[in-house]
Structure 1
Amino acid sequence: MCVIALAYKTPALGPLVLLANRDEYYRRPSAALEFWQDAPQTLGGRDLQAGGSWLAIDTRGRLAAVTHIRDGRPPGGTRSRGELVQRFVTGDEEPLAFAAWLREHRHEFGAFNLLFGPSNDLLHFNSRSGMLNRVSPGIHVLANADMDTPWFKSQRLRAQLATLRRPPQEAEVLPWLSDATAANVAELPNTGVGLALEKMLSPVFIVGRDYGTRASSLLTVNARGDVGFSEISWGMGGRETGRRRYQLRIGQPRTLS
């Protein structure tokens, strides 16, 4: 997951509206949004190479989303960052206990941001700094630096979320995630990857030769605990390969046949 924008506990949009794009190599196998066979109360996409996820929620309201941190340093770590999402959402650890585990094990993963917690009490952990913060009410953005770092792509999504005066419909906001407008040179961050790559990675929606946006997601939670989760899957060249939408209610386990 490489860019996330969320309206959190705002008067107009309710408990949570979260928009996110996952950027990844096209060759990395993935499963689209669905309830997991090995954890049937959990809903999210799945990385079929390492088994983790980039964004998931379960019927208890446990939610997690991950982005990598891009700062020019070697990626490091031997474990997939998607494991962090899977571990929290399917686990039983209290968030602060999980945060202590993150601090102890963060160097086993490539640098990451993790947004996690019950959907009504979200936390943010930055593995580079080791800092844990409770997410405050308002509009926030998270890409490949710290929370609310004003990158071009992040600011475009922030501005669009700020225009909403009511909880959105899919058709209204999912197109925002397919915005392929690139930043001007003066607007690019310097993360040590070179100017050409910085520009290729600058849009909300990335289309590269080997790497690009693979999934666009909208996740909403209303005051009754109803969760709507929609996803568009993308293939090489930015070609749409499918759409899915699911619903669940927090506190109401799924009945399994």
Structure 2
Amino acid sequence: MCIVAFAWKAHPRWKLIAIGNRDEIHSRPADALSRWGDPSHLLAGRDIKAGGTWLGVSEQGRLAVVTNLSGHGTPDAEPASRGDLLKDFLSDDGRYSSLNATDFSDFNPFNLITVAGNKALIHSNRPHARSHILAPGIHGLSNGPIDKPWRKSGYLNSTLAAWIENESSNPGILLENLRDQTTFPLAPDAEPNSVSSLEPQNSAVFIRNPVYGTRCSTVVAIDHQGAGMITERRYAPSGKSTGDTRLSFTWPG
């Protein structure tokens, strides 16, 4: 993902709401959101090239979403895939299933939100590894530092806050908010996304570009009783929607 707004215990109905866009080179292959066969409790899209994911939920009561972190040079081709970090955490199996035992320096720069049970954490691995518990409220991730997010991240947070303040109960509306193409300058000292030089200094929540742009929008909503849904809307290089997938799931009560 490249931008995420995350509401944690901030709505009378929803335990959490996560909304975000995945910006990526359009030619990089990916499978649409689905329930994985192994393990069957994991629901996510899949990066075909590396095998992991960028956002997913597990019916064991886990959620994870990652963004690239710019400003630390060109990504190294050698480190482990950040998608594997999510896959193992969500599967609760594999080398990276326990974040407490994971050396975040093994990975290219990232920002990460994880939920396990009743605890939400935010993590980053540059300029050093750090994690802290998220208090109830609205939090955002972008390709900027977690303590200095890009301006469009604050804008998306305000969109989610307005949805909550209006006591909205239809998360589908948030998919339209994720198509917003209002442009904002990045933070004054920010560098464009190091994955691609195509992201302009004036960047929007939704990036329409035939080479590098928004590939999909995702909305996750889980209520306080554990009933959840995850919706993904995919886009062609032209920015035209190519299809939606919506899956229901349950979390432990």
For Structure 1 versus Structure 2, the TM-score category normalised by the shorter chain is: 0.7 to 0.9
Evaluate the alpha carbon distance shift between residue 177 and residue 244 of structure 1 in structure 2; reply closer, same or farther with a 3 A threshold.
same
Q: Which residue identity is paired with 1:151?
A: W
Aligned-partner SS, 1:70 = coil
Structure 2 unaligned blocks of 5 or more: none
What amino acid does structure 2 have at the position aligned with 1:49? Answer: K
RMSD of the TM alignment (CA)? 2.5
Aligned-residue offset at 1:108: 2.7
Instruction: Give the unaligned 5+ runs of structure 1.
Output: 253-257
TM alignment of 1:1-257, pairs within 5 A:
1-12=1-12, 14-76=14-76, 77-92=78-93, 98-102=98-102, 104=103, 106-118=104-116, 120-128=118-126, 129-147=128-146, 149-163=148-162, 164-165=164-165, 166-184=167-185, 189-191=189-191, 197=198, 199=200, 202-251=203-252
Q: CA offsets per residue over residues 92-141 of structure 1, 9 Å max, x none?
A: 59x9x823333x2x233211112113153111110112011111110111
Contact kept, 8 Å, 2:51 with 2:84, in 1: the verdict is yes
Cα distance between partner residues in 2 of 1:15 and 1:35:
22
- Percent identity between matched residues is 33
Number of equivalences: 246
> Helix, strand or coil: the match of 2:178?
helix
Shift of 1:184: 4.4
CA deviations over 1:140-176 (Å, ceiling 9, x no partner): 1111123353422101111111112325414421111
Counterpart code for 1:233: R
* Aligned residues of 1:13 and 1:167 also touching (Cα < 8 A): no
Which secondary structure does the structure 2 equivalent of 1:5 belong to?
strand
Report which of the two has the higher share of helix. 1
Q: Which whole-Å deviations, capped at 9, do the CAs of 1:74-102 have from their partners, x for residues lacking one?
A: 32243221111101000159x9x823333
The TM-score, its normalising length taken from structure 2, stands at 0.88
Q: Summarize the Cα distance change of 1:228–1:201 in structure 2 as closer, same or farther, 3 Å threshold.
A: farther
Q: Distance in 1 between matches of 2:34 and 2:202?
A: 28
1:239 is displaced (CA, Å) by 1.9
> In structure 2, how many angstroms separate the alpha carbons of the residues matched to 1:119 and 1:157?
26
